[in-house]
Chain A
């Protein structure tokens, strides 16, 4: 894989919103298998945190969305996010959870009447 680590010259963090909901295979797991997954997840999240990934919050939205939960993250650069995704693949995360995502750069809103850019 290409290394994106040194490509960033912009200090503003990358924001990531992750919507997720359990798949059938999650409901089918027994307790020991769920613990194995959760232990793996803890290691994956710790690695992301060590590299500057910040989980700003996890939210429940079952009653008002097609998704069950969403999370809001920030990353210092794209490579940390891509590696987190690969690490999640390794522990079978996408077997157990359906997800949708969007990614963007944090910025300060400074609308000006002379421009449509806001």
Chain B
């Protein structure tokens, strides 16, 4: 994995805890400053942080983010910093990691190091694993279906979808792979799903999808921290 020099994809999905609503303003400010330092340390280690997305409305969580890390130690060190900062005192998080695969049809190389500014506003994270139907299928049927799905991906990228790679998470989760996309709009994402359905994508793989809208400002308790970023 990391010894082969492949980047690590990291997806974090979280919501705030009760403690956030009961924190003092002083504690809030201290924690936010410490978390900001942890993020800067992570970026100095070469981690690209592809935005923060709000997902209260389509999910059970509050926010998610996606990072591309040069290796696992860089991620581990940044998690240690966040632990020290108190991030997990106030947030209940789910984390998923995977090794980036050489898959040019699902990777916009120009986007892998992109800054968050100017990114399309909808974040789309997909986990999937192959179904029994996929494993039973003959190779010709698999190739035919895969070409159709890849064709949908190609047209989506032509319509402005940024694909930040495909990642192997068989070693770290109950899923096989994940990907993260930045999509120009919700309707665009719906249109892509409408094309993937007849292509058979959801016949040969079962998926978990999480979407969110770009949220430039973080909310701590009830307060939107617009002055901090």
Binding site for B on A (CB under 8 A): 1-2, 4, 7-10, 16, 23-25, 78, 81-82, 84-86, 88-92, 94-95, 99-103, 105, 115-117
Contact = CB atoms under 8 A, between A and B. Distances in A.
Contacts of B62: 94
Contacts, number: 73
Contacts of B222: 89-92, 95
Given A2-B213, A117-B197, A7 B58 contact: no
Contacts of A91: 222
The range of chain B's interface size is 20 to 34
A8 B187 contact: yes
B214 A1 contact: yes
Nearest to A116: B203
Given A1-B213, A115-B198, A95 B59 contact: no
B212 to A, nearest CB: 10
Interface of B: 15-16, 18, 21, 54, 56-60, 62, 121, 185-187, 190, 197-198, 200, 203, 213-217, 219, 221-222, 224
B18 A92 contact: no
A23 B59 contact: no
A1 B221 CA distance: 18
Contacts of A100: 59-60
B185 A7 contact: yes
A85 B57 contact: yes
Contact of B56 (A25, A78, A95, A101): A101
Contact of B21 (A1, A84, A95, A117): A95
A84 B54 CA distance: 13
A90 B217 CA distance: 14
A16 B57 CA distance: 8
B54 A25 contact: no
Contacts of A92: 21, 221-222
Contacts of B198: 115-117
A47 to B, nearest CB: 15
Given A10-B187, A90-B222, A101 B60 contact: yes
B215 A78 contact: no
Contacts of A78: 186, 213
B216 A1 contact: yes
A9 B187 contact: yes
A92 B203 CA distance: 41
Contact of A25 (B18, B216, B224): B18
